[in-house]
């Protein structure tokens, strides 16, 4: 069950990082990412921790994953 939950979170994160900056969800993501950088705990913090926990921290740092199917 938790694998399905984690996969859905990662898929949504992938969708967000691929959006243009003029879209509202992307703007909201950028705000949450800035709050995470300032030390607050947000949804982005949990996604970042999830990626780092399973060895994909490089994807969060780069904000790019390359081929989506290979990554998933």
Average pLDDT over residues 30-57: 92
For residue 9 the two structure tokens come to 């979170």
Q: What is the mean pLDDT of residues 37-45?
A: 93
pTM for the complete prediction?
0.83
**Residue 60, pLDDT score:** 86
* Cα–Cα distance for residue pair 72/62, rounded to 1 Å: 16
* Closest to 9 (Cα-Cα) out of 46, 38, 35: 46
């Amino acid at each position: 069950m938790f694998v399905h939950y984690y996969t859905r979170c990662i898929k949504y994160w992938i969708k967000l990082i691929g959006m243009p900056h003029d879209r509202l969800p992307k703007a909201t993501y950028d705000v949450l990412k800035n709050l995470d950088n300032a030390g607050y705990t947000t949804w982005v913090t949990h996604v970042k921790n999830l990626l780092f926990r399973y060895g994909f921290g490089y994807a969060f740092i780069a904000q790019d994953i390359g081929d989506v199917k290979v990554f998933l």
